[in-house]
Chain A
Amino acid sequence: MGIELQNITKKFTGYTALDNISLSVASGELLALLGPSGCGKTTLLRIIAGLELPDQGKIILENKDTTNLPPRKKNVGFVFQHYALFRRLTVFENIAFGLKVLPRKERPSRAEIRDRVEHLLKLVQMDWAQKRYPSQLSGGQRQRVALARALAVNPKVLLLDEPFSALDAKVRQELRRWLRKLHDEIHVTSIFVTHDQEEALELADRIVVVNKGKIEQQGTPQEVYDHPVNAFVYNFLGNVNVFHGRVKNGKVSLGPHHVDAPDELKHAEEKPSQAFVRPHEIGISRIRSSEADLTGTIREVRLMGGLIGLNLDCEGFEHTVDAEIPRELYINLELAKGDTVFVSLNRVKVFTGDYVI
């Protein structure tokens, strides 16, 4: 096992940042800690690195209890949100730092350090920048140097704290794919923290969704996206339409419309529920294809690149419904504002409980 966290609890004055968190990460896995800001994910990462101390719980790295070890003995690589490069040192010296501060006995020779740094610079495609200072690099370049610096000490675990959040959208995407590729090459056990669901879904082997200091769900991106366990996770992983309805006799009523209740609610007694439908899981058609279809009027059309966003008034529903359809379908159907169309809810997800968006 790469990383094993047991019952980690951390309280700050006034609130609980982490509430009894247990989590294991397999060796070589790339895990995403996903959650809204302030959910405790960064605190958890800092605790693993030893930069914060937990009030309770154990941190086991590669089968060794490191809970009370100071950060410099933990052998973790940490990549900071704002890079934290040493501004007075060159790129080369930044990366060599972790090797040069080793005790004399363990310190590699000058030549070995040089080889290692040059190897890492090639790995992060920054070999041209050896003599530059951090302030002479762009954000994306700095973050790659920071990554090389963290890898220089051969860490058992790599921890990345919102590594791309300070970058432009385009650079962010580029770097994300590059990191995935890099991880496939070097296979170091890694955890990265993010509040961007797209990033987590695209990059991670496994996602852990955190909210208010607790783990809501963990699983592969596919599992988490397709089978969210509760309304929070469902909502956090993408845009949603919310319908307030009731569960009754194995059916969920959504305005005038009824859908089959999920298995676990088939025999539940009557209670309020929430139904969620993602905009891209709404079908739009000119002809009624089934009885379940709703009638809607297009209120607004939004161009969103490859997709077209429709805002619909649906008969019997209080709030408007957002749908996203491919551009081609939009053109084929010759849709326009004010048109009446048939709307099908292809995948409805129903949760009961008091989660409020």
Chain B
Amino acid sequence: MGLFQTKRRNILPGFGLSMGYTVFYLSAIVIVPLSMIFFNTVPMGWEPFVHAVTAPRVLASYRLSFSTAFFAAVFDAAAGLLTAWVLVRYRFPGKQFLDALVDLPFALPTAVAGICFATLYSPMGWLGETLIKWNIEIINSATGIVVALVFIGFPFVVRTIQPVLEEVEQEIEEAAHCLGATRWQTFRKILLPHLFPALLTGSTLAFARGIGEYGSVIFIAGNLPMKTEIAPLMIMSKLDQFDYAGASAVALVLLLISFSMLLVLNAVQEWQQKEYR
């Protein structure tokens, strides 16, 4: 029982009190509630569990959630790198304003983002009207979900790359130039490898967030069974039918995947620190 015990008697006061309250609060708000998923899934037994999480509709929702989150993360990586580059490297009027707006997706309630994109891309919306003429349908499609997730995940990438890019020593680049490297070569061979861990971290965060995202997606997705139902929505609809065990089963799978991604992310960060410190 060495957990949460100080390694040596520490001289600052208040360890027992602060640690005790922290553990109590986390248990009440996080650990006990989260464990309910486990306790609701276990009594199901193995076969009903497998049955619940491999039902065609559920599988389709997992596939959709993962593929849309993945494409959104890839798009975010590109757009985020571009934005971070421009914000760190260039000076132009309005730069601070744009920099501040990067955080908007963090601050804006997801439901608001949801209705905005649904209206923008509706057949009568500002963008939907034009796109429908070219036969591009965004609303009620996987593409629409990707659009919403790009918005949600974008700041994760920018805010992870920005500090790294700011800290790149100018001398490294100058040295590369002096050695005769072109601008593009310097970027590809020197900067990109340096930024890569941050880029990976940022897009993994965006990906993880995208898998669980609900509010911004449901309005634009249309929620057609087998086609545009995301995994969190499956949990929602099982809850509406009071199928608690089924909802827990779907949630458990989603949680396990999210946690393993967190672990991967931690490993990436450790690797990053070892590599560059």
Contact = CB atoms under 8 A, between A and B. Distances in A.
A53 B10 CA distance: 8
B2 to A, nearest CB: 13
Contacts of B8: 12, 52-53
Contacts of A70: 11
A210 B11 CA distance: 25
A13 B7 CA distance: 9
Interface in A192-218: none
A137 B128 CA distance: 61
A53 B9 contact: yes
Contacts of B9: 53
Nearest to A13: B7
Interface in B159-205: none
Q: Looking at chain A's contact residues, is the secondary structure mostly helix, strand, loop, or mixed? A: loop
Interface in B1-29: 7-9, 11
Interface string B83-126: 00000000000000000000000000000000000000000000
Highest count of chain A CB atoms <10 Å: which of B7, B8, B9: B8
Contacts of B11: 50-53, 70-71
Main secondary structure of the interface of B (DSSP, over half): loop
A71 B9 CA distance: 13
The interface size bin for chain A is: under 10
Nearest to B11: A51
B16 to A, nearest CB: 15
Interface in A1-59: 12-13, 50-53
A71 B12 CA distance: 9
A70 to B, nearest CB: 7
A130 B9 CA distance: 37
A71 B277 CA distance: 36
Interface string B52-63: 000000000000
Nearest to A51: B11
A12 B7 CA distance: 10
Contacts of B7: 13
Contacts of A53: 8-9, 11
Contacts of A52: 8, 11
B77 to A, nearest CB: 39
Contacts of A12: 8
A50 B9 CA distance: 11
Interface string A251-283: 000000000000000000000000000000000
Interface of B: 7-9, 11
Given A12-B8, A50-B11, A71-B11, 6 more contacts: A13-B7, A51-B11, A52-B8, A53-B8, A53-B9, A70-B11
11 contacts: A12-B8, A13-B7, A50-B11, A51-B11, A52-B8, A52-B11, A53-B8, A53-B9, A53-B11, A70-B11, A71-B11
Interface of A: 12-13, 50-53, 70-71
Q: List 5 A-B pairs, minimum CB-CB distance, nearest first.
A: A53-B9, A51-B11, A71-B11, A50-B11, A52-B11
